Chain A
Amino acid sequence: MAGLMSGFGSFTHAVVRALPQSLAKEALRTGSLEVDLLKAQEEHDKYVSVLKHRLGLEVVELPADEALPDCVFVEDAAVVCGDTALITRPGAESRRKETEAMKAALTELGLSIVEMTDESATLDGGDVLFTGREFFVGLSMRTNQRGAEILADAFKDYAVSTVPVQDRLHLKSFCSMAGPGLIAIGASEAAQKALKIMQQMSDHKYDKLTLPDDLAANCVYMNLPSKGDVLLHCTPEEFPESAKVFEKLKDHMLIPVSNQEKVKVDGALTCCSVLVNRKKNI
Chain B
Amino acid sequence: MTTEVGSDTDVKKEPEKVPEVQQQTDQPDEPADSAASASADQPQEESQSAEAKSDQEASPSPEPSSPPAAGGQKKEKGISRFLPPWLKRQKSQSQDKPDESSAPPKQESVEVVKEEQEETNQPKEEVDGGGAVTTSTEQTEEVKEVREESRAEELQPEEKEREEEKSIGSADTQPVREEKEDESEMEEKEEEKKEEEKKEEGKKEEEKKEEGKKEEEKKEEGKKEEEKKEGKKEEEQVIQQEASVLSTLKVNKKMKMVVCHVTLLDGSQFSCEVEKRAKGQYLFFQVCDHLNLLEKDYFGLSFKDNAEQRCWLDVTKEIKRQIRNSQWQFVFSVKFYPPDPSQLTEDITRYLLCLQLRQDIASGRLPCSFVTHALLGSYTLQGELGDHDPEEHRLDYISDFQFAPNQTKELEEKVVELHKSHRGMTPAQADAQFLENAKKLSMYGVDLHHAKDSEGVDIMLGVCSNGLLIYKDRLRINRFAWPKILKISYKRSNFYIKIRPGEAEQFESTVGFKLPNHRAAKRVWKVCVEHHTFFRLVSPEQPTKTKFLTLGSKFRYSGRTQAQTRQASSLIDRPAPAFQRTSSKRISRSLDGAPVVNVSDYSQADGAGENSPALELNSDSKSQQVEVMERPNADAATSITSETAFETDGAGAPQRKSKLRVQGENIYVRHSNLMLEDLDKTQEDVLKHQASISELKRSFMEATPEPRPSQWDKHLTGSPATTLRLQTHGVPQNTPPRPGTDSRDASKSAEVKPEGNEVIEVVEETVVIEEVVKAKPKSSTPEASVPVETEVKEERSLSSDSESEDEAEYHAQPPSTSISTQQIKEEPEEEQEAELSQQAPPSAIESQPSAEAADPGPAAEEEKAAQPHEEERTDKPLLTPDEAPNGHAPQGEAPPSPQTAAADEEEPHIVNGSASRVETEHLPQVICCSEPPVVKTEMVTISDTFAAQKTEISTKEVPIVHTETKTITYEAAQLDGNGDGEPGVLMTAQTITSESLCTTTTTHITKTLKGGQSETRIEKRIVITGDSDIDHDQALAQAIKEAKEQHPDMSVTRVVVHKETELAEDED
A-to-B contact residues, CB < 8 Å? 1, 3-5, 82-84, 112, 133-134, 137, 139, 145, 148-149, 152-153, 155-164, 166, 193, 197, 200-203
Does A161 lie within 8 Å of B477, measured CB to CB?
A: yes
- CB<8 Å pairs between A and B, sample of 17: A1-B418, A1-B421, A3-B440, A4-B375, A4-B437, A4-B440, A83-B371, A148-B475, A149-B474, A155-B369, A156-B368, A157-B369, A158-B442, A161-B475, A161-B477, A193-B949, A197-B949
CA distance A1 to B436 in the complex (A): 13
> Is there an interface contact between A112 and B370, defined as CB atoms closer than 8 Å?
yes
Closest 8 pairs (CB-CB, A-B): A159-B442, A152-B474, A156-B367, A161-B476, A164-B946, A4-B437, A197-B945, A4-B440
Interface string of B930-961 (1 = CB under 8 A from A): 00000000000000111011100000000000
Chain A nearest CB from B317 CB (Å) reads 32
Are the CB atoms of B442 and A201 closer together than 8 Å?
no
| Residues 409-441 (chain B) with a chain A CB within 8 angstroms | 418, 421, 433, 436-437, 440-441
Are the C-beta atoms of A162 and B369 separated by less than 8 Å? no
* Additional A-B contacts beyond A82-B371, A166-B949, A200-B484 (18; CB < 8 A): A1-B421, A4-B375, A4-B440, A5-B440, A82-B369, A83-B370, A84-B371, A145-B475, A153-B474, A159-B443, A159-B476, A161-B479, A162-B475, A162-B477, A164-B945, A197-B948, A200-B945, A201-B479
A4 x B441 contact (CB < 8 A): yes
B473 and A162 form a contact (CB under 8 A): no
Is A152's CB under 8 angstroms from B375's CB? Answer: no
A82, A149, A157, A161: which contacts B441 (Cβ < 8 A)?
A157
In the complex, are the beta carbons of B476 and A162 less than 8 A apart? Answer: yes
Nearest-neighbor residue (CB-CB) of B439 within chain A: A4
A159 to B479 alpha-carbon distance, docked (Å): 11
Which B positions have Cβ atoms within 8 angstroms of A? 367-372, 375, 418, 421, 433, 436-437, 440-443, 466, 472-479, 481, 484, 944-946, 948-950
B950 → A minimal CB distance (Å): 8
Cβ of A3 and Cβ of B475 under 8 Å apart? no
Known pairs A3-B433, A156-B369; A149 contacts B375 (CB<8 A): no
Which residues in B have their C-beta under 8 angstroms from that of A82?
369, 371
- Quick one: which of B370, B375, B484, B944 contacts A1, CB cutoff 8 A? B375
**Closest CB in chain B relative to A246 CB, distance in Å:** 28
The chain A residue sitting closest to B470, CB to CB, is A201
Contacts of A159 in B (CB 8 A): 442-443, 476
- Minimum C-beta distance from B552 to chain A (A): 36
Residues of B within 8 A of A149 (CB): 473-475
- Bound together, the chains give a CA A83 to CA B474 distance in angstroms of 20
From B368, B436, B466, give the contact of A3 (CB < 8 A): B436
* CA distance in complex: A214, B637 (Å): 67
Name the residue of chain B whose CB is nearest to the CB of A153.
B474
Contacts of B436 in A (CB 8 A): 3
Q: A1-B375, A112-B370 are known contacts. Are A134 and B479 too (CB-CB below 8 A)?
A: no
Q: Given A1-B421, A157-B441, does the pair A200, B369 have CB atoms closer than 8 Å?
A: no
Residue in B closest to A194 when the chains form the complex, CB atoms: B949
Q: Give the chain B neighbours of A157 by CB distance below 8 A.
A: 367-369, 371-372, 440-442
Of chain A, the residue at the smallest CB distance from B479 is A201
- What residue in chain B is nearest A200 (Cβ atoms)? B479
**Residues in B neighbouring A166, C-beta threshold 8 A:** 949
- Chain B residue at minimum C-beta to C-beta distance from A190: B949
In the complex, which of the residues A82, A137, A161 has the most CB atoms of chain B within 10 Å of its own CB atom?
A161
* Cα-based distance from A152 to B433 in the complex (angstroms): 25
Chain A residues closer than 8 Å to B474, beta-carbon distance: 149, 152-153, 160
> Complex Cα distance A162/B466, Å?
19
Residues of A within 8 A of B418 (CB): 1
Q: Choose among B372, B442, B479, B946 the residue with the greatest number of A CB atoms under 10 Å from its CB.
A: B442
- Residues in A with CB closer than 8 Å to B367 are 156-157
Q: Least Cβ distance of A109 to chain B in Å? A: 15
Q: Is A160 within 8 A of B440, CB to CB?
A: no
Q: Are B479 and A3 in contact (CB under 8 A)?
A: no
C-alpha spacing A157/B466, complex, angstroms: 18
Inter-chain contact B440/A152, CB cutoff 8 Å? no
Contact pick for A84, options B369, B441, B466, B478, CB 8 Å: B369
User: Which of these, B466, B473, B944, B948, contacts A152 with CB under 8 Å?
Assistant: B473
The answer on a CB contact under 8 Å between B441 and A203 is no
Closest to A3 in B: B437
Contacting residues, chain B, for A1 (C-beta < 8 A): 375, 418, 421
A residues less than 8 Å from B944 (CB atoms):
162
Q: Chain A residues near B484: list those with CB within 8 A.
A: 200
Give A160's nearest chain B residue, CB to CB. Answer: B475
Q: How far is the CA of A229 from the CA of B493 in the complex (A)?
A: 52
Complex CA gap A202/B475 in Å reads: 12
Closest Cβ neighbor of A139 among chain B residues: B946
A14-B433 Cα distance, complex, nearest whole Å = 31
A4 CB to closest chain B CB (Å) equals 5
Q: Which residues of A contact B472 (CB under 8 A)?
A: 145
Shortest Cβ distance from B946 into A: residue: A164
Residue of A nearest to B466 (CB): A203
Nearest residue (CB) in B for A84 is B369
Tell me, rounded to whole Å, the shortest Cβ–Cβ distance linking B968 to chain A.
Answer: 49
Q: Which residues of B contact A193 (CB under 8 A)?
A: 949
Inter-chain contacts of A137 with B (CB < 8 A): 475
In the bound assembly, the distance between CA atoms of A84 and B371 in angstroms comes to: 9
A197 to B484, CA, bound (A): 14
Chain A neighbourhood of B477, CB < 8 A: 161-162
> With a CB–CB cut-off of 8 A, which chain B residues contact A134?
442
Point out the residues of chain B lying under 8 angstroms from A197, CB to CB.
945, 948-949
Chain B residue numbers with a CB within 8 Å of A83 are 370-371
Q: How far is the CA of A162 from the CA of B471 in the complex (A)?
A: 10
Q: Tell me the complex Cα distance, A167–B478, Å.
A: 21
Q: How far is the CB of B624 from chain A (nearest CB, A)?
A: 46
A152: B residues at CB distance < 8 A: 473-475
- Report how far A216 CA is from B305 CA in the complex, Å: 56
A153 partner residues in chain B, CB cutoff 8 A: 474
Q: From residue B336, how far is it (CB to closest CB) to chain A in Å?
A: 16
Hey, which chain A residues are within 8 Å of B946, CB to CB? 139, 162, 164
Q: Give B464's nearest chain A residue, CB to CB.
A: A203
When distances are taken between beta carbons in the complex, the residues of chain A under 8 Å from B441 are 4, 157
Q: List, in ascending order, chain A residues with CB within 8 A of B476's CB.
A: 159-162, 201
Residues of chain A with a CB closer than 8 A to B442's CB = 134, 157-160
Q: Is the CB–CB distance between A202 and B369 below 8 Å? A: no
Minimum CB–CB distance from B535 to chain A (whole Å) comes to: 12
- Give A200 to B372 CA distance when docked, in angstroms: 27
- Alpha-carbon distance A84/B373, docked complex (angstroms): 14
- B379 to chain A: closest residue by CB: A3
Q: Which of A3, A133, A158, A163 contacts B945 (CB 8 A)?
A: A163
Tell me the minimal C-beta distance from A15 to chain B in angstroms: 20
Give Cα A152–Cα B421 distance, bound, in whole angstroms: 29
By beta carbon, the residue of chain A nearest B477 is A162
Of A83, A148, A159, most B-chain CB atoms within 10 Å: A159
- Give bound CA distance, A149 to B369, whole Å: 15
Residues of A within 8 Å of B437, CB to CB, are 3-4
Task: Give the residues in chain A near B479, CB-CB below 8 Å.
Answer: 161, 200-203
Residues of A within 8 A of B372 (CB): 4, 156-157
List chain B residues, Cβ under 8 A from A163.
Answer: 945
Q: Is the CB of A3 within 8 A of B375?
A: yes
Return the chain B residue nearest A281 by Cβ: B421
Residues of B within 8 A of A160 (CB): 442, 474-476
Distance of A199 from chain B, by nearest CB (Å) = 10
CB distance from A191 to the nearest CB of B (A): 13
Give complex CA distance A162, B472 in Å: 10
Q: Considering the chains assembled together, what is the distance between the CA atoms of A203 and B535 in angstroms?
A: 14
Q: How close is B775's CB to chain A, nearest CB, in angstroms? A: 59
CB distance from A125 to the nearest CB of B (A): 17
CA distance A112 to B414 in the complex (A): 14
> Which chain B positions have C-beta within 8 A of A3?
375, 433, 436-437, 440
CA distance A82 to B371 in the complex (A): 9
Q: How far is the CB of A133 from chain B (nearest CB, A)?
A: 8
Name the A residues within 8 Å of B370 (CB-CB). Answer: 83-84, 112
